[in-house]
Every structure is written in structure tokens, then in C-alpha cells.
Structure 1
Amino acid sequence: MSGEFLNQWVKIDRHGSKLPHWQQADCMQFVTFRLKDSVPQLKLNAWKEARNHWLRLHPKPWDALSLKEYKLRFTQPFEAWLDKGYGACILNRSTNRDKLSVILMNDHYARTIFESWVIMPNHVHLLFKPKTPVPQLIKSWKGISAREMGHGSIWQRNYRDTLIRSEAHFFAVVRYIRRNPAPLAENTFTLWESDRAQAIE
């Protein structure tokens, strides 16, 4: 099981310039991608400016204190905006969520191993162990789903990802994904969990 988590002694593949992405062999990933209109542009621009300034002062790899500060200043506010349900929220419609669900599960075991995911009204959280480079997976899922839903260009270009550091981190992410839709009506989200994730209380 330890091979599934971030190993400081194993090479990390880095890609992307504006929003750097890390991938490491068999390490599990927590990925979030969102619809284009899910965060108001003015809020997003201010967030990006503050984040870019902070990143210049705090280059990776981060210690625990820097990671905690990043989450408090950037991750938590961003997640709160997503959960407010800005935008058209086309994933509110079960037909659109069903299309995306089928696309994701077609790759389960073939190109990735999912542990948990949730499709929210305007964003998606995924916890998985990739068998294919993550950028290829995300590009494929976004492209196919946009065509299937017939809405043209619907997804924000980039995505956010985190390498899973430990079993405790894995448990925390499973719980986070499970709790994310708690305030929503049942018919406005789709949650999927592996047997392993379901066993986590």
C-alpha cells in the first residue's frame, strides 16, 4: 500500500507552468476540475494574483506549515466558492452527470483505478491511482464529456491536483469527497466510492 503514496525518494514528474502539476509513478491523486463559469471572474482574478505572489515567495516542495497556510489562504476559499453554486451548473441535470459517470467508469481499471469521486453541480472531485499520465486523462474526460453533453467548451482549461501523501491523507480525502455534497439535494450530485473507500468511516 505504501507505493500508492508520495515517496520523497522517488522522482516526481512536473508539468504545467501557470498551475504546476506533480505526478509520481503509482501515487494516488486528488484532482478537481470545474465548469468555466463556476467562479466569478473578478473573484478568480484576485485569487490568482494573490496566489501567484504567494507561490513566488513559497516555491515547492512545501513543509507542513506552508501547506497549511496555502490551504487556509487559497484552497479553502476556492472550495467555498465552488460550493456556492455559481454559474449555470449544468451538472445539476442527472442526464449530464450520467454521461460523465459513464465516461469516468469506462476508464476504471483500464487507464486508472478510482477510489472515490463526486460530480457536483459545477465541479468534479476525483481520487484515483492513474495508469496513464494525468493530463491525458483529464483532457480525455473533459473533451468527451463536453461533446456528449452538447454544450461546446464547458470546462475550465486547467485543473488542481494533489499527490496523496499517506494513508491518513487518503482517508481524509475520501471523507472530504463524501461530505462535499452534504448541503445539496440528493438529485443534484452523483457520488461513487470503491469498496475500500466505503469501508472508511
Structure 2
Amino acid sequence: MAALIGELFDPKAPLAISEHSRPHWSQAGAIVFITFRSADSIPRDVLLRWERKKNQWIESHSELALPWRKALPHLSSQLQNAFKKQFDRTREDFLDTCRGKCVLKKRTLAKIVADSLLYFDGERYRMGDFVVMPNHVHLLASFPSEESLTVQCDSWLHFTAHKINLELGLTGKFWQQEPFDHLVRSPEQYNYLRKYIKENGVKAGVREGEYLYRRCES
């Protein structure tokens, strides 16, 4: 069993939930699995279709007359997990089809992201395994406070977008602004996510050299 880079999610401990385009859960010291993706990785019509399906799922599994973002925190943990499992898998499978320009296939651009993720490792956060795919990034990390997760993700997205756009001679939005995040609940889930990150490039059919994988050895 691999050593953990932080604590497991504790449902009895203080928890911060923020709501923007989607609910974000954070807990001081807890390990979180984060995915952020390029702005062109999922077409708008696909996102709208998923929104409809999420609302339909809520309607069929509860009596709450609320949009899924508002309803989800009020569901039982079992229903929340079922919802997340279904739609997280849908999203991850779609990302692995590598839609959009997929500029992170270029090693120099992927390295901008990797270097940024590691820059404050051990100071502002603890970075675990990560993979930079052609149009998205998966990582495991832990943060000292609920607020630091959001602040650091915003910093990563802003800094890397600026650097990548400079390299490409472009301006405008590079990342979809809000990452997806999931608090890790067990050692088994932690090791599953490490395996998922390690195998993501091969599973998606991306050629060696067109993704960047980093394994945390500590």
C-alpha cells in the first residue's frame, strides 16, 4: 500500500462547499483528485446534453425540485456517490477521445504545466501523481486549508494559460475555468486513482511522448 500524501476525507470534520458552475468540496489536509481541461476539449452541445441528463437523474432519484447543482449536497452520501460515479466516468471517457486542438501533446507546453504543478510542492501544497494529457490534466494533491485549493488552482490555470498562449502566439481563454475535484475517501480509492493516472495515456490511445506522466515516490 502506497504512503498517502495527505489525509483521507473525514465526513465528520469541517468541510467547505462552494458553488459556481458546479459544487466544489474542500477539506484541510485531505487528498483531492483534480481534473482541469482545455476550453475546447468538450463542445458546448455535449455539455448542455450532460446538464439535461444530470437534472433528469436528480428528478428520477429524489423528490427535490431543484437543479442538480443545488440538489446534490442534499442527497444521501450513497446517492451522491452514484451520481458522481456515473457522470465523472462520462466526462473522463469523453476527455480521453482527445477533442480540440490538443496542444499539450507538444512536450514544451506540457512541461510548462508540469513545472507549474511542482513549483510550490512542499510549500503551499503536497503534490502527488499527475499526468498532462493532450487536452486535460489529472492530479492528486493535498492542501493545508479549504481556501488554498481554490486559490492554487486559479494560480495554476492563470499562469500556465499565459505561458502557453505566449508560446503559441495566441490570446484568450485556454483552460475551462473551473476544475473538477473529488475528495479521496479511502486508501483503496487513492491507489485506484494513482493507477488511473498512470494508465491514462495508454488507455486513451495517446502515443508515447504526447503525454507527460509524473509519479510521486515519497
TM-score by length of 2: 0.83
Q: 1:26 to 1:57 in 2, by over 3 A?
A: closer
d(CA) in 2 for partners of 1:60, 1:102: 39
- Matching of residue 186 in structure 1 with residue 199 in structure 2: no
- Could you tell me which of 108, 115, 118 is aligned with 2:131? 118
The aligned counterpart of 1:12 is 15
Q: 1:83 to 1:2 in 2, by over 3 A?
A: closer
Percent identity, aligned pairs only, is 27
> Once the 2 structures are TM-superposed, how far is the Cα of residue 63 of structure 1 from its aligned partner?
2.8
d(CA) in 2 for partners of 1:99, 1:3: 25
The aligned counterpart of 2:163 is 148
d(CA) in 2 for partners of 1:64, 1:42: 29
Structure 2 unpaired stretches of 5+: 59-67
Query: Which of these two proteins has the greater Rg computed from alpha carbons?
Result: 2
Output the amino acid matched with 2:133: M
Output the amino acid matched with 1:51: K
SS of residue matched to 1:181: helix
Q: 1:106 to 1:136 in 2, by over 3 A?
A: same
d(CA) in 2 for partners of 1:52, 1:89: 30
> Once the 2 structures are TM-superposed, how far is the Cα of residue 98 of structure 1 from its aligned partner?
0.9
The aligned counterpart of 1:24 is 27
d(CA) in 2 for partners of 1:177, 1:189: 11
> Once the 2 structures are TM-superposed, how far is the Cα of residue 52 of structure 1 from its aligned partner?
4.1
The aligned counterpart of 1:39 is 42
SS of residue matched to 2:201: coil
The aligned counterpart of 1:48 is 51
Q: 1:62 to 1:120 in 2, by over 3 A?
A: farther
d(CA) in 2 for partners of 1:142, 1:5: 25
d(CA) in 2 for partners of 1:118, 1:3: 19
TM-score by length of 1: 0.89
Q: Deviations over 1:143-198 (max 9, x none)?
A: 100111124320001111000101111111111111111121111100111114xx
Output the amino acid matched with 1:25: A
Structure 1 unpaired stretches of 5+: 197-201
Root-mean-square deviation (Å): 2.0
- Could you tell me which of 114, 138, 158 is aligned with 1:101? 114
Q: 1:176 to 1:61 in 2, by over 3 A?
A: farther
Q: Deviations over 1:27-85 (max 9, x none)?
A: 0000001000001211111112322453355445643354134322x111111110001
Output the amino acid matched with 2:153: I
- Matching of residue 85 in structure 1 with residue 98 in structure 2: yes
SS of residue matched to 2:150: helix
Q: How many residue pairs align between the two structures?
A: 195
- Could you tell me which of 129, 135, 138 is aligned with 2:150? 135
The aligned counterpart of 2:183 is 163
Output the amino acid matched with 1:63: S
- In the TM superposition, structure 1's runs of 4+ consecutive aligned residues that sit over 4 Å from their partners are none
Q: 1:61 to 1:115 in 2, by over 3 A?
A: farther
